[in-house]
Structures are given as structure tokens and as C-alpha cells.
A and B are shown apart, each in its own frame.
Chain A
């Protein structure tokens, strides 16, 4: 399809979104990523039954933790699509980049540069 999606996204492959844990999302933000999002299978379509539901719960927990320390929980998100939906993958990538642009840069990056709030 030769679809294009924003080049500032780094894809990390996992065997199932059920492998993604709260600490993975937090570490991404702690290390300076402006945002981190999970792209999982459609709800109800998980090969392992509930991997994507587990990922969703963990993403929500990561959001809570980030909100509680003033980092902005919205920096982590989750999207669902089927493996045949390339255009949706690209659309979600653009949507996430847009959300992150609205939130601004990760405060951790500013802190490292000595510009903390």
C-alpha cells in the first residue's frame, strides 16, 4: 500500500499486546519519549482471548500514575485495529502525533536540559 505515517514514531514489536506492562509505558516516558501508544488487535479478536484487554487496563493504570506525578496521563494511549487495516495504522499514528503536539514535549526532556517547571 506504500502508506506513509509520521517518521517520529519508533515501532517496538511484541508477541501480543498482553505482553506490554505498566513499567514499559512508564519507562518510555521516563526516558524521554513524548508519548507511547499500544496498537492491539480488535477487542474480542485477541488470539490469546484477553491480551488486548489486559494491555488496555495496564495503559489506564499507566495513565493514572503519570497523572499523579504531573506528567500527563494522555501521553500513553491505546488503539485497536485488525492486521488488515494498514490505513488505520497510519491514521492512528497521525492521531497520536497530533495528540502529543497538543500536550507539548515531555517534561523529562526539559528537566534533563535544566528547564524544569
Chain B
């Protein structure tokens, strides 16, 4: 899923301070799971902002809404009738949701309420870690299911590098060396012969190097 973290309240206050009527728009998908922008977080942020502006003697009407998703037309259409009644929409969705909302409702300012961080997994409640950088050309089949692109600081494809010490990366003793994990996993699977094969140059044109990307599946298109 896409992992996000809430923006500091001071930053949010600064971006919405000139509004008279504000909609805080949550998303029921990834940002709900990573507890950054779901219905609960919408409620907490709305309550905090109401208190702040009331204390400042500033009249701002703050309303709350959470959509099933902000990255699909059908759910975003649910606010069609009300979107332009607000000075701004503070979206707690990931960067995709913020942009899609902004593209759909051109006359309303759409602001981000979270920082979108990475594609990751829930290690435990309250702890999310990166697993994928959406490079567009997956190499997991030859690396024991452990991604050197997202989990190696250098994105080394024939590792480890000289900075690997006792299974940890040179950037931090807290960070596992991805290539140590790969070697351990391939050993456990009895597939170390795969490790011996040199990975060819990776086609990075499917990553950000090729500019904004697009996926089209013609058989399902209308």
C-alpha cells in the first residue's frame, strides 16, 4: 500500500488559515490502514483545527467527509454537488488522491494534509516499512523475493557492496543489508546458483527516468 504520514499541524494551519469554509477529505484506502488520512484522522484534525481557529477568534467552518477512494472517478463524484461550496479541500489522501481531486474540481483549492512516503507493508500496528519503489521492471524472481531496488540504499543489482557489515548496511546499524537478506534467502531455498549469475543492466526507462508513466490494459477499457 501507499504509506503516508500526517503533516505537522502547524504546516496545515498555515495552508488553510485564509479559508472561511474548509472540507477535510479523508480516504478509506491506504491512508486509513497507515492511520494518516482515514475517517478517524479526519475527525482528529478537524477537531484540532476548530479549536485552534476558535481560540484565535477566527471564523472557519470546517466539515468532514471520507470517500472510499480519492483515486477513482466514481468515488470522487460523490462530492460533485458540494466541492465548489468550499474555499479549499484539505485532502488527507496520498499525493495521487490530492492531484486527482484537484484535476476534477478546478475551481476549488485542493491542499495536501499528509506527506506521501513510500510503498510499504505494515510490520506491526504503527510501524510501516518500505518494500517497493515501483521501478516498473520487477527483479524479485532472481533475488529470492527481496527487492534490492527498494531495500538496498545504493540499489545495487549485484551485491552486496563493501559497506555491508555483519548483515547491516553502512548507512545505519538499524538497516538490514538487502543483499545479506537475499543471500540468506537464496541459501535457505537452495538457489545460490542464481546468485552466481550476474544481473544484466536494468532498464531504468520503466522507472522515473522515462518520465511520468502509464499503464493501459486494452481488454478492459471501454
Interface residues of A (CB under 8 A from B): 21-23, 26-27, 29-30, 65-66, 68-71, 107-108, 111-112, 116-117
Asked whether, in the complex, the Cβ of A21 is within 8 Å of the Cβ of B40, the reply is yes
A117 to chain B, nearest CB (A): 6
Distance between Cα atoms of A30 and B13 in the complex (Å): 17
| A21 vs B39: C-alpha distance when bound (angstroms) | 13
- Not counting A26-B51, A69-B55, a sample of 12 additional A-B residue pairs whose C-beta atoms are within 8 angstroms of each other reads A21-B40, A65-B44, A68-B9, A68-B48, A69-B9, A69-B13, A69-B49, A107-B54, A116-B54, A116-B55, A116-B56, A116-B57
Give A108's nearest chain B residue, CB to CB: B54
Roughly how many angstroms separate A23 CA and B9 CA in the complex, as a whole number? 15
Residue among A29, A108, A111, A116 with max Cβ neighbours from chain B (10 Å): A111
> Is B55 a contact of A27 with CB atoms below 8 Å?
no
Number of interface residues of B (CB under 8 A): 17
Report A-chain residues with C-beta under 8 Å of the C-beta of B10: 68
Interchain CB contact under 8 A, B40 and A23: yes
Chain A interface main SS type: helix
CA distance A107 to B57 in the complex (A): 10
Question: Which residues of chain B are within 8 angstroms of A29 by Cβ–Cβ distance?
Answer: 51
Shortest distance from the beta carbon of A93 to any chain B beta carbon, whole Å:
25
Q: Which residue numbers of B lie inside 8 Å of A, CB to CB?
A: 8-10, 13, 40, 43-44, 47-52, 54-57
Q: Which A residues are CB-close (under 8 A) to B43?
A: 23
| Known contacts A107-B55, A111-B55: A65-B9 contact under CB 8 Å | yes
Cα(A26)–Cα(B47), bound, Å: 7
- For B56, the chain A residues whose CB sits under 8 A away are 116-117
A65 to B46, CA, bound (A): 11
A90 to B48 Cα, complex, angstroms: 31
CB closest chain-A residue, reference B56: A116
Q: A116-B56, A117-B56, A117-B57 are in contact. Are A71 and B40 (CB under 8 A)?
A: no
